[in-house]
């Protein structure tokens, strides 16, 4: 398969390239930068969500799965980007968000049975939201209590309702029909919940990945990681045919085999969080490597930047590791120029504190880093000291190091 040894580049569309001066990245901007991706040598790119969204979770609260948010452009812009990418030999992955929608999605009012509601007047169990507090909130309109694994603005879909399964399969077919090459599948772990809504037990303390404190106090065996999820993923696979499906399954490596039944790849999160020591890295890599079908990853839009985590002195070794491990590797935009965490925004856009990992790409040394001609939605961090243009011109730069690793000449 084309992806078996691929380097895939994650684009965070709001922060990659603005083309119309509104300070927010867009599809035409991405199209202008395709030659950069070709030069870098990646095989594909993944677009974080480009669908209409009220932005409670910056695109991961989707209010229409088969449309383009006007801030990013139009469906024509999308088709043009896809065609241009393909013409340049780049494959395109979209972000599929099957486990929840925005509370402003028309389904929430028109098809409330597509969501998960408490059978009692209040939370029926102790489940917690990833972002803190109860996973249940009261809907002021109907008075019922609905489940949300993430923000209250992101009600969870009920995958036990065949209508949900069919609707999400239609979403997959819609985008495949336009020509996309696959999907990164968001927040799969909790796609199906316990039918009896049983309480999650207290955490045993051995979960291998970092979790927000309050959320981590419970072992999420009923609210998430259900055996029934295999069937749900199977339904996505049925619609996807042999398009690439990379799952965001936020669990330790030992849990992956069942998820890989219908997914091509799952992100190797233990590697992303491994402390920077040979021993810890080996412990994270060996079991994941044995599965043969993990996507190696050292950064994304949810966690501290690679350069901040491993330190400037280790960014080259991190690139060596990421891009020489056997199999598929994902690179988060900006990591190839060593972008660190930024200052974020005050007041925060993301209530969970992830603005710092989402600052604009720095293309040149100008004050906005060539990202926009307007006011950038998040300030560039340090375009004068760090930018693509300067690093391209310097054979010893981190950027050229990435390039050589991606396609050795």
- 84/302 with CB nearer ligand GLC: 302
Work out how close the CB of 302 gets to ligand GLC at its nearest, in angstroms, rounded to a whole number. Answer: 5
Do the Cβ atoms of 273 and 289 come closer than 8 Å? no
Pick the closer one to ligand GLC by CB: 17 or 149. Answer: 149
In this structure, what token pair is assigned to residue 212?
A: 């927000």
**Residues 366 and 340: beta-carbon distance below 8 Å:** no
Closer to ligand GLC by Cβ: residue 45 or 60: 60
Q: Which residue is nearest to ligand GLC (CB)?
A: 60
When the beta carbons of 255 and 302 are compared against ligand GLC, the nearer one is 302
Given the complex with ligand GLC, which of 229 and 406 has the nearer CB atom? 229
CA distance 74 to 78: 6
What's the token pair of residue 117? Answer: 């509601």
Shortest reach from residue 301's CB to ligand GLC, in Å:
6
CB of residue 131 to ligand GLC, shortest distance in Å:
8
Q: Please check whether residue 48 is in contact with residue 10, taking contact to mean a CB–CB distance below 8 angstroms.
A: yes
CB 96 to ligand GLC: min, Å: 11
For 322-326, the CB contacts below 8 A with 24+ separation are 322/296, 322/297, 322/298, 323/7, 323/402, 323/405, 323/406, 324/405, 325/285, 325/289, 325/296, 326/5, 326/289
Q: Tell me whether residue 269 or residue 363 sits nearer to ligand GLC (CB atom).
A: 269
Cα(138)–Cα(141) distance, integer angstroms: 9
What's the CA gap between 385 and 340, in Å, rounded? 12
Which residue intervals of 241-376 are DSSP H helices? 256-259, 269-273, 278-291, 306-310, 315-324
Cα Rg of the chain (Å, integer): 21
Q: Residue with structure tokens 């375009």?
A: 383
Q: What is the DSSP letter of 276?
A: S
The set of catalytic residues is 186, 248
Owner of token pair 């990245």:
25
Question: What is the rounded (10 degree) CA torsion for 306, 406, 361, 38?
Answer: -160
CB of 208 to ligand GLC, least distance (A): 17
d(CA 226, CA 231): 10
Rank residues 12 and 222 by Cβ distance to ligand GLC and give the closer one: 12
Task: Evaluate whether 156 touches 191 at the Cβ level (below 8 Å).
Answer: no
Phi and psi, residue 249, nearest 5°: -115, 100
Nearest alpha carbon to residue 268 among 322, 214, 219? 322
Minimum distance from residue 46 beta carbon to ligand GLC (Å): 11
Give residues in contact with ligand GLC (CB under 6 A): 57, 60, 97, 150, 186-187, 248, 301-302
CB of 267 to ligand GLC, least distance (A): 10
């Amino acid at each position: 398969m084309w992806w078996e040894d691929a380097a895939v580049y994650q684009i965070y569309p709001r922060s990659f390239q603005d083309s119309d001066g509104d300070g927010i990245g867009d599809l035409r901007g991405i199209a202008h930068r395709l030659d950069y991706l070709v030069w870098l040598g990646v095989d594909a790119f993944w677009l974080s969500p480009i669908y209409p969204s009220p932005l409670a979770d910056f695109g991961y609260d989707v209010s229409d799965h088969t449309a383009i948010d006007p801030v990013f452009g139009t469906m024509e812009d999308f088709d043009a980007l896809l065609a241009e990418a393909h013409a340049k030999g780049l494959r395109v992955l979209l972000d599929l968000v099957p486990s929840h929608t925005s509370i402003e999605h028309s389904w929430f009012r028109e098809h409330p049975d597509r969501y998960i509601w408490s059978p009692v007047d209040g939370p029926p169990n102790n489940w917690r939201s990833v972002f803190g507090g109860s996973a249940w909130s009261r809907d002021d309109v109907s008075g019922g209590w609905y489940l949300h694994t993430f923000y209250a603005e992101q009600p969870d879909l009920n995958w036990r309702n065949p209508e949900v399964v069919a609707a999400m399969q239609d979403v997959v077919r819609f985008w495949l029909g336009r020509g996309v090459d696959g999907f990164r599948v968001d927040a799969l772990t909790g796609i199906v919940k316990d039918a009896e809504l049983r309480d999650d037990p207290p955490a045993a303390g051995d979960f291998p990945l970092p979790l927000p404190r309050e959320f981590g106090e419970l072992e999420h065996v009923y609210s998430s990681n259900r055996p029934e999820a295999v069937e749900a993923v199977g339904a996505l696979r049925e619609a996807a045919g042999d398009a690439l499906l990379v799952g965001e399954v936020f669990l330790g490596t030992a849990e992956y085999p069942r998820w890989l039944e219908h997914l091509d790849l799952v992100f190797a999160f233990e590697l992303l969080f491994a402390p920077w020591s040979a021993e810890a890295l080996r412990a994270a890599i060996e079991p994941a490597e044995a599965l043969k079908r993990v996507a190696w990853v050292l950064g994304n839009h949810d966690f501290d930047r690679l350069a901040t985590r491993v330190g400037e002195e280790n960014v080259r070794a991190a690139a060596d590791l990421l891009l020489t491990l056997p199999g598929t590797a994902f690179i988060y935009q900006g990591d190839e120029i060593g972008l660190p965490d930024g200052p974020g925004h005050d007041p925060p856009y993301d209530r969970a504190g992830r603005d710092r990992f989402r600052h604009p790409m720095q293309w040149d040394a100008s004050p906005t880093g060539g990202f926009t001609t307007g006011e950038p939605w998040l300030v560039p961090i340090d375009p004068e000291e760090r930018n693509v243009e300067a690093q391209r011109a310097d054979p010893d730069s981190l950027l050229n190091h990435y390039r050589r690793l991606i396609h050795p000449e």
